[in-house]
Chain A
Amino acid sequence: MDLISLYPTWYEPTVGSGWVVALIATFHVLASHTSVGAALLFAYLSNKAYREDRDDLLDFVKKYGLFLLVFTYVAGSITGPGIWYSTTVASPNGIGALIHSFVWKWATEWVFFVIEVVGVYMIVYLVGRVDKKTHMKISVIFGMASLATMLIIVGILSFMMLPGKEAWFEEGGYLNGFYGTNTFIQMGMRMAFMFTMTAVVGGIVVAGIKDPAFKKEMARKLGWLGIVSTLIGAALFQWYLKSVPDQALLVMENRLPDYFVPSIVAVLSGTLAYFIITMIQPKTLVAGFAGFMSVTILVAGLWPEETARESMRKPWVAGQYVYSNQVIGRDVPGMGIQSQLPLLEKVGILKAHPFTPPELKKVNDHNMIQAGQFIAMVYCSNCHSPSKTGIRPLHRYFPDNITRERMEKYVKGVLTSGNIAYMPKMPMLDSEVKALSAYLLMNKKGGQPAVAEAIKQEVDARNRALAEKQAQDKVAALTIPQEEK
């Protein structure tokens, strides 16, 4: 069988499918991290309310809980599976690799997720309806269940960067894939930052507290929580960078946008300053200020962090064996997985792709641009948009005066051999090299309108040829019986 596990391609011309995933993921991280941090905070506050017999703390839990229920649990519980949906359409083999290795881990997380969702309703709606001791117990269970969801997902996220243990490649096994240095450091880092987010978002609720003394108490509690967690998170981030493969650091140094480091430093400093100000002067803690900080963390902190994590994995998208363009680029004997590169080198991408249109299986002068576009969509579009905008647009990577010969030399010499460290090896037959080069050149010179026009001409010519052939066949069919007569 000459087919490999490649799905149709979804191409989003405006921002690119990769950014659609990143947008949903970033929003989900804010919602989910805040929820988990808040769940642990609720456990602490509910316990304190029970020990000290305080209604004001439970009232705060109720208000913050209701706020979270609407803004983070609703959106978080939808954007969670939403990440599955978006990665399914943007990177089906990436998510497939994770699902097939960690289905039971996700199923286990689901059990805690169910507990969490039932728990949040109970936390909010049972304040004043059950005694404080019972509320405390519900809160503790809720907090631990929320934490468990995070523990589980971090192992899967770590696998995206690299399997926990190198032994996974030879021996396979869920445990080898899940647990590793990167897993534990990332776990600590995420836990720290989740408390930071809890403290910032919680400020929106603290801002609404009328009693000045209670407001001061809560502002201080959240302030200390935020300061300590931000400092620990920042330290763990430095450690985290030491646990990623050298390749990832190379990508980070060369490929991340210039604004990445200043943005992260600014947001961390700004967050610390915010906590200090609101602790010293709780009056300054108004909903607008806290809301502004939440959005700042989302835009200037989480967005660069999530896109960086995404970029650093290149050329892989999962487990250091699935390329970002969905091709399996490495043997994993422990799982019985074979690299798809040898087959691609032998038969070419057009023949190996299950969804190649029959008329594009072999490149000729009449399908050159269409075949080139198909190859570009499969091999390139996940990381480089063929449009003017979107993620790292293809046209920006070539000089204006590039010729067809130079383009072919580049495609053949660099892409098919995998000579760029952070790009996958993309095997192609010589005819496919020509087709991709022709497409890239046309995309560079005339953009998408020129490509669309060229494809239209190719299709029209093909349809005309087909119609002529059908007409000739008809004539032949009519002629033969007459001759027989």
Chain B
Amino acid sequence: MDASQISQVTEMMYALRNPAGIPTYPIIFIGLGVLTFALHILFVQLMLGTSAITLYGAFSQNFYWRRLGAAMLEIAKVSVSVAIVVGVAPLLFVQVVYDPHWYTSNVLSAQWVIGFIVILILAYWAMYFYYFRNSKNADKTVQPKSRWSMVVSLVLMLIVGFIMHSLTSAILHPELWKEWYIQNGVVDYSGSKLHAYNIWRFAFFISMAIPVTGGMLVTYRRFKSVREDADHDYLNWAAELGKKWIKIGSVISAILYVAWMMTIPETAGDFATSFWGIAGGIAVLLYAPWAMWRLKGEARICSYMALPVALVIGLVVAISREMLRYGILNDFFHYNFLDYKVVMDWYSTGLFFLTFAIVGGVVLSYFLTIAWKTGQTVGVYTPSAAVDRLGTISIWIVALWIVQFFVVGFYIWAR
């Protein structure tokens, strides 16, 4: 591309920006986007990995595998929900500073965007169908019914993953947007095609399901081992399987990461050999030695660290991914998200961070404490006075939030 063509692309991207501007500094949206993407992709990978175990368990004759399959189905169900709900945040933040890119890539593949919604619902319902067909069966070692529905669920999940991957990839090619829209001289209004993909990048993010789910299995053993009715042989078997998945999975993912870096667009320049280009792959690879070093024997504390470590690795990869996008769009196409027009709104900015920290922090602490303790208790769990008080505080905090909503609202209304 010559300078004039690049300049036209730059001009187009800036023209597409929303004239309303954004209510705080753009770097904050990018930071939150990276953080929430790391969380989102962790749960996506958990969802895929635990679904794969459920599926393998369903077709296996091994009783341990069948039990593990049934247990992982519970995690898969919740992981889908959490992946969706957490995924809302990066979806929100990307369209704040990269609206020209996100909206264009979506419109050009509109049918797939709409298909994404339908396919995801079907995938989730297929998983629930499998669950309801087998949930009443107390013996988790018998062969499950309707295994096909779990196959359908997993395949559909991979399809929605690919759609999202393609939309994200299209962002990186503003030079091709017009070419995609105008094919052989005729404008294509149908949005019927997925235009961009990098199979290595997609395979890398999917493959991360292996080590991440390995981390989940190690955590599962540790969490369940304190129960009075724990079957230690089975749990140890699951943990060993998890360690193996971390070690082998990290190597596979690191190889795929390298393949991705070798196939990034030319417009990315020498990103693959830059600090962040290398850091992502190193972080992934380091999960294997960490597991070998820290997960020996009982590993009572480090077993609980397996998933947080996976999250940190995911965060490094998320930063690399964001730097790649910035490298292409800023360094090559001169679109700098940092110069987005800011129309500062302190109230809504402050209200979000206070809600996030105080309401989210306190309530989720209470919820997760209850869920954690209940999972480790045989029979009915009754919280301690301190946990109970945390529940009361949570109620008051949410109630106060609602009160402030109306107090501020009526004041503004009456003003």
Contacts and interface: CB of A to CB of B under 8 A. Distances in A.
Interface of A: 1, 3-12, 17, 20, 24, 70, 73-75, 77-82, 84-86, 88-90, 92-93, 95-97, 99-108, 110-115, 117-119, 121-122, 126, 128-131, 133-134, 137-138, 140-141, 144-145, 147-148, 151, 164-165, 172-176, 178-181, 183-184, 328, 332, 335-338, 354-355, 357, 359, 370, 373-374, 377, 381, 455-456, 459, 462-463
B111 to A, nearest CB: 8
Contacts of B401: 148
B8 to A, nearest CB: 9
Contacts of A17: 110
21 contacts: A3-B12, A5-B17, A5-B18, A7-B104, A17-B110, A74-B121, A74-B128, A77-B85, A89-B106, A89-B110, A93-B18, A97-B20, A99-B99, A100-B18, A104-B345, A118-B367, A122-B367, A122-B370, A144-B402, A173-B347, A176-B412
Contact of B413 (A104, A179, A335): A179
Given A137-B391, A141-B398, A337-B19, A81 B91 contact: yes
A85 B398 contact: no
Interface of B: 11-12, 14-24, 29, 32, 78, 81-82, 84-89, 91-93, 95-96, 99, 102-104, 106-108, 110-111, 113-114, 116-117, 120-121, 124-125, 128, 177-178, 181-182, 184-187, 189-191, 341, 343, 345, 347-349, 351-352, 355-356, 359-360, 363-364, 366-368, 370-371, 374, 377, 380-383, 388, 391-392, 394-395, 398-399, 401-402, 405, 408-409, 412-413
Contacts of A462: 185
A6 B17 CA distance: 9
A92 B364 contact: no
A133 to B, nearest CB: 8
A357 B189 CA distance: 13
Contact of A179 (B99, B125, B184, B409): B409
Contacts of A93: 18
A104 B93 CA distance: 10
A100 B20 contact: yes
Contact of A85 (B20, B113, B366): B113
Contacts of B392: 137
A104 B348 contact: yes
B376 to A, nearest CB: 11
Contacts of B190: 10-11
A455 B12 contact: no
A96 B352 contact: no
Contact of B92 (A3, A10, A99, A131): A99
A359 B185 contact: yes
Question: Nearest 6 pairs between A and B by C-beta?
Answer: A3-B15, A11-B189, A89-B110, A10-B110, A104-B348, A82-B117
Contacts of B82: 117-118
Given A97-B18, A121-B81, A183-B409, A173 B345 contact: yes
A1 B17 CA distance: 13
Contacts of A122: 367, 370-371
A94 to B, nearest CB: 11
Nearest to A107: B352
Residue with the highest number of chain A CB atoms closer than 10 Å, among B82, B88, B382: B88
Contact of B85 (A20, A114, A338): A114
B402 A115 contact: no
A354 B12 contact: yes
Contact of A7 (B107, B185, B341, B364): B107
Contacts of A148: 398, 401-402, 405
Given A129-B381, A148-B402, A184-B409, A84 B107 contact: no
B370 A119 contact: no
Interface centre among A4, A8, A141 (most CB of B within 10 A): A8
A113 to B, nearest CB: 6
A456 B184 CA distance: 10
Given A5-B19, A181-B413, A10 B189 contact: yes
A105 B348 CA distance: 7
A8 B345 CA distance: 31
